Structure 1
Amino acid sequence: MRQGIIYASVAYLAWGLLPLYWKLFQTMGAWEILAHRIVWSIIFVAIIIQVTKRWRSMWKAVTGFKMFGALAMCSLLISANWLIFIWAVNNDQVMQTSLGYYMNPLITVLLGVLFLKEKMHAGQWLALILAAFGVMFITFQYGEIPWVSLSLALTFAFYSLAKKIVRMEAMIGLAWETLFVAPIAFGYLLMLQVNGTETMSSLTWWQLVLLTLAGVATAMPLYWFAQATTRLPLSVVGFIQYLAPTISLLSAVFLFGEPFTQTHLISFGFIWSALIVFTVSSVRMKRRAAPINPEVAIKKQA
Structure 2
Amino acid sequence: MIQGFLAYLLWGIFPLYFPLLQPAGPVEILAHRFVWTLVVMAIVLLVMRKWRELREASARTWGIVSLAAIFIAVNWGVYVYAVNSGHVAEAALGYFINPLVSVLLGVIFLKERLSPLQKWSVAIAAIAVVVLTIGVGRPPVLALVLAFSFGFYGLLKKRVQLSATASLTAESMIMTPLAIAYLVYLGRQGTGTFTAHGAGHALLLVSAGFATALPLLLFGIGAKKIPLSTIGLMQYITPTMQMSIAIFIAGEHLEPARWIGYVIIWVAVAVFIADIVIRHRRTRRARRAERVRSADSAERVGPADPLERTEPAEAEERNGSATPRTAAEGDR
Q: For this structure pair, what is the TM-score category when the shorter chain's length is used for normalisation?
A: over 0.9
Decide which structure has the larger Cα Rg and report it.
Answer: 2
Partner amino acid, structure 2, of 1:212: V
**How many angstroms apart in 1 are the aligned matches of 2:273 and 2:250?**
30
1:109 maps to which residue?
103
RMSD: 1.9
The DSSP-based 3-state class of the residue aligned with 1:191 is helix
Paired residue total: 296
String of CA shifts for 1:135-179, please: whole Å, max 9, x gaps: 111110111111000000000000000000004212111100100
Q: Which whole-Å deviations, capped at 9, do the CAs of 1:176-223 have from their partners, x for residues lacking one?
A: 010001100011101111121212234343232221111110011111
Structure 2 residue 248 is the aligned partner of structure 1 residue 249: no
Give the alignment partner of residue 48 of structure 2, picking from 31, 34, 52: 52
Unaligned runs of 5+ in 2: 300-332
Are 2:81 and 1:87 equivalent residues in the alignment? yes
Aligned match of 2:170: 176
User: Which of 39, 55, 61 is the aligned partner of 2:35?
Assistant: 39
Map of 1:134-145 to 2, 5 A cutoff?
A: 134-145=128-139
C-alpha change, 1:300 and 1:270, in structure 2 (3 Å) is farther
> Match of 1:13?
9
Which letter maps to 1:85?
Y
Query: TM-score scaled by structure 2?
Result: 0.85
**Once the two structures are superposed, what CA deviation does each residue of 1:84-108 show, in whole Å capped at 9, x if it has no partner?**
0011111111111000000000000
CA contact under 8 A between 1:124 and 1:282: conserved in structure 2?
no
Q: 1:223 aligns with which of 205, 217, 220?
A: 217
**2:94 alignment partner, one of 84, 96, 100:** 100
Residue from 251, 259, 276 that aligns with 1:282: 276
Q: Distance in 2 between matches of 1:44 and 1:299?
A: 49
Where 1:254 maps in the other structure, the secondary structure is: helix
Post-superposition CA distance 1:110-143 (Å, at most 9, x none): 0000000000011001001111111111110111
**Which residue is equivalent to 1:193?**
187
Query: How far did residue 269 of structure 1 move?
Result: 0.9
SS of 1:213's partner is: helix
- The secondary structure found in structure 1 opposite 2:139 is coil
Whether the 8 Å contact between 1:95 and 1:249 is mirrored in structure 2 is: yes
Displacement, 1:26?
A: 2.7
Q: 1:129 to 1:91 in 2, by over 3 A?
A: same
Correspondences of 1:114-153 after superposition (within 5 Å): 114-153=108-147
Q: Which runs of 5 or more residues in structure 1 are unaligned?
A: none
Larger RCO, structure (CA 8 Å, separation 6 or more): 1
